[in-house]
Chain A
């Protein structure tokens, strides 16, 4: 067997491991093994590539290659290991972005290489697509990272004529692609690169923070497609298979995610959702409508006499780093014979499944985590619904108010419980920027303050009783 055939066989093996990994990631039991499988497959592919020959010569610049890998490794491992779990979404965004950037560089460099060695060759579409999509994904992910890290506002950034300007950028890229296909100009390819960079950023700016996870999933899929395009350019089946798998499954996943929010994908991408703050109240009680507020001690007493409590956590909990205290409170109530469960909305947190991960990290027993439908049936008999740092996911406007931007999103019906307790920092609306009627419900008691402080005081109050 020739060396080239052996390497191709190893590539086939890697492609298979990727497929098995994706399959495994779909079940909680096999997910971790699946991830290891893919990592092993990747290692095999990388090692095999070191021995690859092109036109009869070995690969050059091996030391430089190893140096590049070492640099990447030294940056990636600490970043991935030590970043807080709450910052996970932006980390995924940035690792996705660099992948897109690499794909764009590969397509671009291959183009330059072919041009310099065989000047008469025609440029083919896949090179341009690789550069365009890869760069788009890179700059889009960078903006998504900046938004999630709250370096700029998470709210949609809009300006007059935005969609028209974006459309013009799109058309310009298209014209540029056709021009390059005809005349094969290298200079124009660099311009395409710049244009794709602007386009990616302009595309992401008007998307609200609450929708960014769906966006990351879409950009992830784009990077996959860019990788597949560079696979065509380089003539590598491995890149085509892996890239396309990610591209296709990514688009499908994106649709699943927007469905979980009760909205269409185009609505998520183009409606600048949440740009208008409809709430009349600003910080601290400027609002004329009466709300009932209580102290953590009051709530401690209320919880102590309940027989069942449903906790509805949201991202605010994670921001306050209150998961561990919340778990302590839950255990304390359990010890008193009170039934405790956690109602998890599919999009609670910043990504689907994010809240499950955060609570699992705080050692909340898996069997106490209830998915939305199950939680809603438990809430009909619950004495207290304790809303910690959630807002939009319990907003009744989603089912009552047809004019509300979140109308149609499935919600957790906290208002079904006998009492509703809201831990909130202020009267400000949630991530989507929409007023919540539930705050004014006569059943509702509000406790203002940092979620972690409030929970700590509540734990003390429950203990004292």
Chain B
């Protein structure tokens, strides 16, 4: 087993424990935004897609890489926007009411 692989495995194992620890005690009402938020985070595959397309040497690789970039962008952008829209709803009541009156005033 190479040194590099060992280093990656170390990162993997530590990240598993951190991941579990971080979400251990969240209230049920935030389960949906958390799911959606972590959905956006795995959109980091966009970085991988960029590297794939950027190193593509054949037509097939270019096509696959290009598709991967599109899909990855959908994941990142969609994920963050949906999560934000959900969390917008959790604003305290007063600010919502205020925002409404401001809208009416305009």
| Residues 51-76 of A contacting B (Cβ, < 8 Å) | 52, 54, 58-62, 64-65, 67-69, 71-73, 75-76
State which of B12, B37, B71, B78 has its C-beta within 8 Å of the C-beta of A91: B78
Among the stretches A109-117, A412-420, A457-465, the one at the interface with B is A109-117
- Contacts A25-B30, A49-B50 known; A106 to B86 CB distance under 8 Å? no
Q: How far is the CA of A32 from the CA of B69 in the complex (A)?
A: 26
User: CB-CB contacts of B62-103 with A at 8 A, as 1s and 0s?
Assistant: 101111111111111111111111111110110011000000
Question: Are B77 and A244 neighbours in the complex by a CB distance under 8 Å?
Answer: no
Question: Are B58 and A103 neighbours in the complex by a CB distance under 8 Å?
Answer: no
B28 to chain A, nearest CB (A): 4
Q: How far is the CA of A175 from the CA of B33 in the complex (A)?
A: 38
Is A184 positioned at the interface, with any CB of B under 8 Å from its CB? no
B42 to chain A, nearest CB (A): 4
Question: Are A65 and B50 neighbours in the complex by a CB distance under 8 Å?
Answer: yes
Q: Which residue of B lies closest to A366 (CB)?
A: B93
Q: Which residue of A lies closest to B23 (CB)?
A: A249
CB neighbours (8 Å) of B25 from chain A are 26
State which of A34, A230, A351 has its C-beta within 8 Å of the C-beta of B45: A230
State which of B22, B29, B70, B86 has its C-beta within 8 Å of the C-beta of A23: B22
Question: Are A106 and B28 neighbours in the complex by a CB distance under 8 Å?
Answer: no
State which of A220, A238, A353 has its C-beta within 8 Å of the C-beta of B38: A220
Q: Is the interface of B mostly helix, strand, loop or mixed?
A: helix
B69 to chain A, nearest CB (A): 3
Is A165 positioned at the interface, with any CB of B under 8 Å from its CB? no
Question: Are B15 and A95 neighbours in the complex by a CB distance under 8 Å?
Answer: no
Is A235 positioned at the interface, with any CB of B under 8 Å from its CB? yes
Most buried by B among A18, A69, A256, A346: A69
| Residues 336-395 of A contacting B (Cβ, < 8 Å) | 344, 346, 351-354, 356-357, 360-361, 363, 365-366, 371
Question: Are A92 and B39 neighbours in the complex by a CB distance under 8 Å?
Answer: yes
Q: Which residue of A lies closest to B4 (CB)?
A: A235
| Residues 1-39 of B contacting A (Cβ, < 8 Å) | 4-5, 8, 11-12, 15-20, 22-39
Question: Are A236 and B47 neighbours in the complex by a CB distance under 8 Å?
Answer: yes
CB neighbours (8 Å) of A36 from chain B are 84
Is A157 positioned at the interface, with any CB of B under 8 Å from its CB? no
- Interface size of B by CB at 8 A reads 82
Q: How far is the CA of A354 from the CA of B47 in the complex (A)?
A: 31
B24 to chain A, nearest CB (A): 7
- Contacts A102-B46, A239-B48 known; A256 to B31 CB distance under 8 Å? yes
CB neighbours (8 Å) of B78 from chain A are 76-77, 79-80, 91, 94-95, 98
Most buried by A among B26, B31, B42, B62: B42
Is A181 positioned at the interface, with any CB of B under 8 Å from its CB? no
CB neighbours (8 Å) of B72 from chain A are 72, 98-99, 102
CB neighbours (8 Å) of B49 from chain A are 68, 102, 105-106
Question: Are B73 and A252 neighbours in the complex by a CB distance under 8 Å?
Answer: no
Question: Are A253 and B37 neighbours in the complex by a CB distance under 8 Å?
Answer: no
| Chain A residues close to B by CB (< 8 Å) | 14, 18-19, 21-23, 25-28, 31-32, 34-36, 38-39, 42, 45-46, 49-50, 52, 54, 58-62, 64-65, 67-69, 71-73, 75-77, 79-81, 85, 88-89, 91-92, 94-96, 98-99, 101-103, 105-106, 108-110, 112-113, 116-117, 216-217, 220, 223-224, 226-228, 230-232, 234-250, 252-253, 256-257, 260, 344, 346, 351-354, 356-357, 360-361, 363, 365-366, 371
* Apart from A77-B81, A363-B93, 6 more pairs, CB < 8 Å: A19-B18, A32-B84, A64-B66, A68-B53, A85-B85, A256-B31
| Chain B residues close to A by CB (< 8 Å) | 4-5, 8, 11-12, 15-20, 22-58, 60-62, 64-90, 92-93, 96-97
Question: Can you name 10 A-B pairs with beta carbons within 8 Å?
Answer: A18-B41, A27-B26, A28-B27, A46-B46, A59-B50, A77-B78, A237-B8, A244-B19, A246-B39, A248-B17
